[in-house]
Amino acid sequence: MTTSSYRIQGATGEWEVVIGLEVHAQITSNAKLFSGAATAFGAEPNTQVSLVDAAMPGMLPVPNRECIRQAVRTGMAIEAEINRWSRFDRKNYFYADLPQGYQISQLYHPLVGEGSIAIEPAEGEEKVVGIERIHVEQDAGKLMHDQHPTRSYVDLNRSGVALMEIVSRPDMRSPAEAGAYVRKLRSILRYVGSCDGNMEEGSMRADVNVSVRRPGEEFGTRTETKNVNSVRFVMAAIEHEARRQVDVLESGGRIVQETRLFDPDRGETRSMRSKEDAHDYRYFPDPDLLPLELDEAFIAECRASLPELPDTKRARYRDVLGITAYNAAVLTAEVETARWFERLLAACGDRVTPKAASNWVISDLFGALHRIGKDIDASPVGPEQGAELLALVADGTLSGTLAKQVFEIMLETGDDPAKIVAERGMKQTSDTGAIDAVIADVLTANADKVAQYRDGKEALFGFFVGQTMKAMAGKANPQVVNAQLKKALG
Amino acid sequence: MAALTDLGIAAIRDGVRDGAFTAREVAEQFVARVAAARPLNAFITETPEHALAAADAADKARAAGTLAPLSGVPIGMKDLFCTAGVRSTAASAMLGDFVPPYESTVSEKLWAAGAGMLGKLNLDQFAMGSSNETSAFGNVVSPWRRNDGGNAALTPGGSSGGSAAAVAARLCPAATGTDTGGSIRQPAAFTGISGIKPTYGRCSRWGIVAFASSLDQAGAMARDVRDCALMLQAMSGFDPKDATSLDLPVPDWEAGLSADLRGKRVGIPREYRVDDMPAEIDALWRQGAAWLKDAGAEVVEVSLPHTRYALPAYYIVAPAEASSNLARYDGVRYGLRDLPEGAGLQDMYAATRAAGFGAEVKRRILIGTYVLSAGFYDAYYTQAQKIRALIARDFEQAWASCDLLLTPTAPSAAFALGERSADPIAMYLNDVFTVPSSLAGLPAMSVPGGLDGQGLPLGLQLIGRPLDEQTVLNAGLAIEARAGFGERPSDWW
């Protein structure tokens, strides 16, 4: 593992920050972890609740196979140990959003054991972050305090929804590394399809463990900042919390092991619960559930259903398809982008090189999408249309300039490029007769510049090209224009 | 003609089928007898309309030639089973007014088999107790009385005391029970009826108010072995809604009944010979062995060396699970809510649970919370689980030399109400013979063997291999045939 150079400058010297993350990721599934109730986000309160989720007397949990499958596939995607035998435990505590009075989780025997994730922070070196475990557990409901002046209401829609808790090793040493880790994890989850990674809707949130130490010394006491729900906030929370800890230590104080909250409005963390009010969760094996035993057929199906993952795909783009390292990284970071790009490649066939296609996606397509504020999935130009446009460039029908114009029209009208070219006569011309006629006009109109050029001011060549192209409304083949101009200018 | 209320399940089924009487006549007689026996306090809720509707359906089914296995049989339902639209209380103040919108799997199966419900039977609160004295609806009184001329009110046992009393008093031909550490077998023994707890997982726990999930198992209580077989058959079967339910076909136990025990070896566990066992019980135990030998079985002595640790282990595991299972009764969503003026959430929890739970339930929640707490977990819960594994291994080793075990069901006959309620340990000792097989999840049954000197019934317990309810029932049948237990309490109420 490489060492990060990120340091906090304190009054008494440098400090290093040590970060571990527990990411809660909602498993993509139509039903909850132990009940058949639906899991749609944003539904009316208490409309996604079964008798089991409301913990009615005599109700029993039954594990949802799909949720287990998704967690196993996620484990495989981070090359983790898959435990053939795991078990559910009850975490006991009272709260109004927890109908059973306990959360079904996995303390002692998690479904997924040790794995790892390679990250590449924006500033800093590539490194591998260890994953300690992934376990599955139930989400709680939600209290609503804004419905009545003196009473709180409970919404159980989320109660019992399946979560994966992905626990990292304390391997990160800077906010940037933590940010890169969350982004990479999110990317993997979305590739696998086990979590939509939507942090705004709460499908993914992080508990951030932070401690500080003098570089190279033992770990310090850590605090845990709960439920941080964006990459930016994760980084801000670490930055603030590390700085706070340094200030406490340097003023002779002691760090208290405690649970803290991140306040995004003020950009700071504050104490939520100290160790004194810490719960004794009285974990014990859930007697309503048998241990989870996975057979080889199930494991094999999980493995076979895994898609090509971002790291592998990125290497293939670079090494096999000949795409630049930068383009390969950008195109594989999000599963939607990679999917769109691969449909584009498939439609291009042999007509366009992958490299040319990648350049077009990253400059022209991304530029346009950014301008109109749309995601790639909502692009007004589909990959098949994009391929047709690129093919017209490759076969010389369109010049680069014409192609950009055609693309703009495609974005506006949704029409196919061939249709646009035909209807608007935007086809590039290589007809030397026509080009020579225009060149003659241009040279006649600029006799003074021709004289200067012939006296050695060769930089004027570009001017003649521009004038010729302009006179031909951009439809002339630039190579032919160049060649004919050279001839005409002698 | 004898009263129809003297008939058991098989006789009612056959009589309805053969047209000897109608299901309506049967239901009406039982409904009237239930109403007349209110001093026993066996029922928390009477549901005559349910029984009569099922009877009418049975009479129609007979006309249509579509009789189901229990068509026309009105039964009693322990009030631990949730029944749709019918108050389901677990004999607690917490669920005193709770009317579930769902039907437990076991009761659903019984209704599908044609049975009707006479009412919801009293029990120890949340099934925690061995005397029925923890019920928030007042204790059940046993129909039995001592022959000493005194009228001391006796316990029917517990927790399925209402079920036991109702079957013994002919208020219903059969009833459901649940057994966590002996809650079917001990009351069956105290009231001179038969009761069987099947292998853990035979009956779905879905819709049964949970006490200790790893031990709770529904079972049948009736006046003879055949009726137990019939009843249990209708109650059993795989349920995808219960993850611990066994995905196995249910054998036709009635068809397999046979009192011929040739080729079977009966084990007598020497560790069950406890020090202060009454001589009458010891004598009955020997008599039981002789009866089984007479039926063709070979009797052998076996050892279950960890038996003495079973009761302490049980009183750790069961309360631990209960402390967690009962956390859902918090006043937030259903059941009792005690919200003092100006109270916050924690105050509401405290007030609700203080008012909604009785002393014994609170005791077990506290014990369970304690044994699971940080610093005590390994010393109590982990140790108890190890003992549980050792006890299961004891039984497995015993099966090398025998096919079933014979023991007394309880260390005494029924005691007087109030006699032991001040001493929880004395009360817990009632379960000493029934708890080990519960910890091991084995099928076990109590059948009446005779009366003691005070004229009170005594029971014998048969414990079988996992899934071998048939051998247990057959041995029960062999004892039943030889004990000739025909005594019944008089209708003093």
pLDDT in tens, A184-202: 999 999 999 999 999 988 8
Tokens standing for B422? 């001040």
Residue B220 sits in a domain of what CATH number? 3.90.1300.10
CA distance A213 to A78: 29
For the question of residue B159 being annotated catalytic, the response is: yes
CA distance A312 to B310: 57
CB-based contact A280 B373, cutoff 8 Å: yes
Its domain, for residue B158, covers: 4-260
Query: Cβ(B445)–Cβ(B470) under 8 Å?
Result: no
Looking at the domain assignment, is residue B390 inside a domain? no
Task: With cut-offs at 50, 70 and 90, classify the pLDDT of residue A478.
Answer: confident
Lookup: tokens for A222? 């850590």
- Total Cβ atoms within 10 A of residue B2: 7
Q: Is residue B282 part of a domain?
A: no
Cβ–Cβ gap A284/B381 under 8 Å: yes
Q: Using the 8-state DSSP alphabet, how is residue B115 labeled?
A: -
Residue type for position B457 = P
CA-based torsion, A384, A386, A387, A388: positive or negative: positive
Residue B377 belongs to a domain: no
Span B66-91, pLDDT tens digits: 999 999 999 999 999 999 999 999 99
Report the C-alpha gap between B27 and B361 in whole angstroms.
Answer: 35
pLDDT of residue A2 exceeding 90: no
Find the residue in B nearest to A92 (Cα): B324
> What Cα–Cα distance (Å) separates residue B204 from each residue in A95, B109, B217, B323, B403?
29, 10, 8, 21, 26
Structure tokens at B187: 């009351």
Asked if the bond preceding B159 is cis, omega within 30° of 0, the reply is yes
Q: How far is residue B191's CA from residue B184's CA, in Å, rounded to a whole number? A: 11
B324 inside domain: no
Asked if residue B354 belongs to a domain, the reply is no
Angle subtended by helix axes B225-235 and B9-18, to nearest 10: 80
Q: Is residue B17 part of a domain?
A: yes
Question: Above 50 in pLDDT, residue B421?
Answer: yes
Rounded CA-CA distance B240/A36 in Å is: 12
Cα–Cα dist A407/A409, whole Å: 5
Place A1 in a pLDDT band, splitting at 50, 70 and 90.
Answer: very low
Selecting from A57, A62, A100 the residue whose C-beta is nearest the C-beta of B100 gives A57
A419: which 2 tokens?
Answer: 């249709």
Give domain status of residue B196, yes or no.
Answer: yes
- DSSP alpha helix (H) spans, A110-261: 175-192, 231-250
Contact B207 A288 (CB under 8 A): no
Write out residues 344-363 of B within 8 Å (CB-CB) of A.
345-346, 349
**Comparing C-alpha atoms, which of B180, B222, B186 is closest to residue B203?**
B180
Contact B206 A63 (CB under 8 A): no
Question: Tens of pLDDT along B15-66?
Answer: 999 999 999 999 999 999 999 999 999 999 999 999 999 999 999 999 999 9
The one-letter amino acid at B448: P
Is residue A311 over pLDDT 50?
Answer: yes
CB B57 within 8 A of CB B25: no
Tally of CB atoms within 10 A around B185: 35
Q: Return the pLDDT at A364.
A: 96
pLDDT tens per residue across span B81-123: 999 999 999 999 999 999 999 999 999 999 999 999 999 999 9
Cα–Cα distance measured from residue B355 to residue B339, given in angstroms and rounded to the nearest whole number: 11
Do β-strands B174-179 and B194-197 pair in parallel, antiparallel, or remain unpaired?
unpaired
Q: Residue B401 catalytic?
A: no
Domains along the sequence of chain A with CATH = 20-216+280-301 (no CATH), 308-424 (no CATH), 432-489 (1.10.10.410)
- Interatomic CA distance for residues B157 and B130, integer angstroms: 5
Domain count, chain B: 1
Is residue A3's pLDDT more than 60?
Answer: no
Structural domain contains residue B411: no
Binning chain A into helix, strand and coil, the percentages to the nearest 5 are: 40, 20, 40
CB of A451 within 8 Å of a chain B CB? The answer is no
B183 is known as an active-site residue: yes
pLDDT tens readout for residues A133-167: 999 999 999 999 999 988 889 999 999 999 999 99
Of B92, B159, B245, B437, which one is the catalytic site residue?
B159
Q: Are the C-beta atoms of B398 and B304 separated by less than 8 Å?
A: yes
Report B:43-102 residues touching A (Cβ under 8 A): 81-82, 88, 90, 95, 98, 100-102
In DSSP terms, which residues pair with A262 in a beta bridge?
Answer: A269
Q: Touching check for B280 and chain A: CB below 8 Å?
A: no
Q: Strands, DSSP E only, in A200-286? A: 204-213, 223-228, 259-263, 268-273, 284-285
| Phi, psi for residue A72 in degrees, rounded to 5 | -65, -45
pLDDT of residue B195: 98
- Rounded distance, CA A78 to CA A133, Å? 11
DSSP element (H, E) containing B189: helix B185-191
